Structure 1
Amino acid sequence: MPDETPTASDPHDADLPADAWSGVHRGPLRAGEWVRLTDQKGRRHNFELVPGKRFFSNRGHIEHDELIGREEGFTVASSAGGEYLVFRPLLSEFVVSMPRGAAVVYPKDAAQIVATADIFPGAHVVEAGVGSGALTCSLLRAVGPWGRVSSYERREEFADVARANVRQFFGGDHPAWSLTIGDLAEALPASGERVDRIILDMLAPWDCLEAAAGALRPGGIVCAYVATTTQLSRFVETVRAHGGFTEPAAWESLVRDWHVEGLAVRPGHKMIGHTAFLVTARRMAPGARPPVKKRRPAPGAYGPDYTGPRPADLPPQVLDQSFDA
């Protein structure tokens, strides 16, 4: 966090306390903060404010000193007459423009994970696959400085990018975050930790399900973030076959913007379509199993062409190789 905090004339406009670790500031823009400039065509530029430096674009330059000390939410003109809107970047804006090692979890999915996995202040959340740190920022904000986020990443180069991005957003090393280089399937059982939530953002989340089951408290939630239908099927069926979780719920979210000008109201031409599937399930108490589903699977769903995990107590006709679907 920056050491010097500009004072506000109104105490209600004072900056947030540093120990809140929100990644958000109030009051005048200050050196060391990041700002987001948006031009008249919607093009966006994020950069750190440094006294004496200049921001350059195809519309000339802007002195950083022209921005420092002003309240956000103003327009500024470049040396060649370009107009820019100046704000501090929101978390949702920061993550889509941050430097990337791996693909980022988009804001629409991060919001779904925080809500449906019920990430709460003080929770201990395990994240497998830190990527570029986008989801990590949302998890840290949700658990607060009194919670814990334990991230596991196999690749050192991804971990380095994530560390830099998380530090950039929060202004320092968040006290609730730990990052381990290694495989969660081995490292989490070895730690002996008991946790509230586990988020699996990786190619083969089913490989970590046994470790997740051993670490989750009863009532805890496992949430997988997978890109393809084959990954979705494999993970869901692995959860069912395990028997120690509730029936998994799977879904995706699509976001479509709208064009609104007077009577011209129509869907926009841009859309954030498929990014990933989300799957959640809750951990049962030790030795307990969920009720057997009343609804039968579709004929042939687990027939001879299906080679994945099979849930227990399937009706015989579903498994009959001679059954004609």
Structure 2
Amino acid sequence: MSEPTGAARRRGPFRVGDQVQLTDPKGRHYTFTLEAGKQFHTHKGAFPHDELIGAPEGSVVRTTGNVAYLALRPLLPDYVLSMPRGAAVVYPKDAGQILAMADIFAGARVVEAGVGSGSLSSFLLRAIGDHGMLHSYERRADFAEIATQNVERYFGGPHPAWQLTVGDLQDNLSDTDVDRVILDMLAPWECLEPVAKALVPGGILCAYVATTTQLARTVEAIREHGSFNEPAAWETMVRTWHVEGLAVRPDHRMIGHTGFLLTARRLADGVEPPLRRRRPAKGAYGEDYTGPGSGSGGAGADR
């Protein structure tokens, strides 16, 4: 039985072509690709790549300046933060939420719009495996090229489950019986009709947006469309902790807002979503509100 794509690159001794992440005594990371006969240089000296080729992961190497570096393969979260970028990457904390809350499973048929630098594509491909399907759409050809290079560098070549189309999702989406749709784009509300047609009943739409304005407009458009259940919206923040003896405290810096996530599930054809029982706050839909459902009484008046 053949191994899943990229799995062989994640275990065993270091080989030529492997990516290595070095950690210095201060916790700083340096990533490079192993090449026979080459040397890795730092301001604290150098050491030959050959010293790591054939060595087990977790080895320690010393430079000519007698500084010790821990050598490990970079994890996917490390890789996406250090890879070349065309657009901003989806951070690991948000990618993890997408995989969990959009319920990405092995063999899933997924559509992704907004590839950027290939960060989320890499997470999705590893989750769905060789027998799933990820069809990604990217408007910009230069971003698509960078994303392709990053994904293939991580998996060691083309992934059999990945198809990348350069163009707008709403103009090119022809996939059917899709389990999940992930939208990382400026105006996800413009894609709801083709997305609804592509998703299977019970399928999940997950949108990743940067601002409260985008979040509000997307949620209201989903409610107005009528093919989805009540969307859920949230953001995730990560705070690391300093642990040193009795000095246990939160670190002074944290990974705060990067974006908002929202999910909604596709209803069966011909089914109307249940009425919302929770009334909106007074003034939530003012006279100047021009979003979806802004007719008489405001969008939330009869929900």
**Residue of structure 2 equivalent to 1:81:** 66
- Partners in 1 of 2:25 and 2:92 — Cα distance? 24
> Which of 50, 54, 57 is 1:69 aligned to?
54
Alignment of 1:97-116 (within 5 A): 97-116=82-101
**Residue of structure 2 equivalent to 1:279:** 262
**Residue of structure 1 equivalent to 2:234:** 251
Equivalent residues of 2:116, 2:138 under 8 A apart: yes
Q: Deviations over 1:105-141 (max 9, x none)?
A: 0111001000000011111000000010010011001
Alignment of 1:190-269 (within 5 A): 191-269=174-252
Change (3 A) 1:216 1:201: same
Between 29-38 and 300-309, the greater mean CA deviation after superposition: 300-309
Between 222-231 and 55-64, the greater mean CA deviation after superposition: 55-64
Q: TM-score normalized by structure 2?
A: 0.95
Q: Tell me, which stretches of 5 or more residues in structure 1 are unaligned?
A: 1-15, 320-325
The answer as to 2:102 corresponding to 1:117 is: yes
- Partners in 2 of 1:257 and 1:102 — Cα distance? 26
Equivalent residues of 1:23, 1:170 under 8 A apart: no
- Partners in 2 of 1:23 and 1:227 — Cα distance? 36
The answer as to 2:255 corresponding to 1:291 is: no
SS in 1 for 2:181: strand
Alignment of 1:174-185 (within 5 A): 174-185=159-170
SS in 2 for 1:121: coil
RMSD: 1.9
Change (3 A) 1:315 1:162: closer
SS in 2 for 1:41: coil
- TM-aligned CA deviation for residue 235 of structure 1: 0.4
Equivalent residues of 2:235, 2:257 under 8 A apart: yes
The answer as to 2:283 corresponding to 1:304 is: no
Instruction: Give the residue type in structure 1 aligned to 2:44.
Output: R
Equivalent residues of 1:50, 1:64 under 8 A apart: yes
- Partners in 2 of 1:268 and 1:42 — Cα distance? 15
- TM-aligned CA deviation for residue 316 of structure 1: 9.4
**Residue of structure 2 equivalent to 1:95:** 80
- TM-aligned CA deviation for residue 25 of structure 1: 2.4
**Residue of structure 2 equivalent to 1:12:** none
- Partners in 1 of 2:276 and 2:191 — Cα distance? 25
Instruction: Give the residue type in structure 2 aligned to 1:291.
Output: P
